[in-house]
């Protein structure tokens, strides 16, 4: 079956532009995660959805970052007024389980990411 798909793979934006990054999770996966990976670093958590509900957005670095998953499948990460420090790879991951207390330790399946370069 298809894995997690992210588009675009590469995005170049001028400082101040708005961008939208798309994630198509594995069909039927309840949980969806966004991570930000700076060059030479490990991924850092941004936000988490259980179906359409955004249950944790503690990792979003500023109010310029916004994520949605309106129908509980495809998700979009939007960054407004991009800054140079937003340059990174944005990774999406999905998991079949809801990640409740009783179902932790779930394997997350990652997409190949969107590499955002802000000039």
Partner 1 sequence: AQKVTQAQTEISVVEKEDVTLDCVYETRDTTYYLFWYKQPPSGELVFLIRRNSFDEQNEISGRYSWNFQKSTSSFNFTITASQVVDSAVYFCALEPLTGTASKLTFGTGTRLQVTL
Site of interaction with partner 1 (CB under 8 A) = 3-4, 31, 33, 35, 40-45, 48, 50, 55-56, 59, 89, 91, 93, 95, 97, 99, 101, 104-113, 115
The alpha carbon dihedral of 93, 95, 98, 101 has a sign of: negative
Distance of alpha carbon 116 from alpha carbon 119, whole angstroms: 10
Q: Which is nearer to partner 1, 17 or 106 (CB)?
A: 106
**Least gap, CB of 74 to partner 1 (angstroms):** 18
CB of 30 to partner 1, least distance (A): 11
> Which residue number, 47 or 82, has a Cβ lying nearer to partner 1?
47
CB of 47 to partner 1, least distance (A): 9
Count of C-beta atoms within a 10 Å radius of residue 6: 22
The two tokens of residue 60 are 């979003």
Instruction: List Cβ neighbours of 15 (8 Å cut-off, separation of 6 or more).
Output: 82, 83, 84, 118, 119
Specify the residue, 14 or 102, whose C-beta has the smaller distance to partner 1.
102
């Amino acid at each position: 079956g298809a894995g997690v798909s992210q588009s675009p793979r590469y995005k170049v934006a001028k400082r101040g532009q708005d961008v939208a990054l798309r994630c198509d999770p594995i069909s039927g996966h309840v949980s969806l995660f966004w991570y930000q990976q700076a060059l030479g670093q490990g991924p850092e958590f941004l936000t988490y959805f259980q179906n359409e509900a955004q249950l944790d957005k503690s990792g979003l670095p500023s109010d310029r970052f916004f994520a949605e998953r309106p129908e509980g499948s495809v998700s979009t990460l939007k960054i407004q007024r991009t800054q140079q420090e937003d340059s990174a790879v944005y990774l999406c991951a999905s998991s079949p389980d809801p990640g409740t207390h009783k179902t932790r330790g779930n394997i997350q399946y990652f997409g190949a990411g969107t590499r955002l370069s802000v000039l």
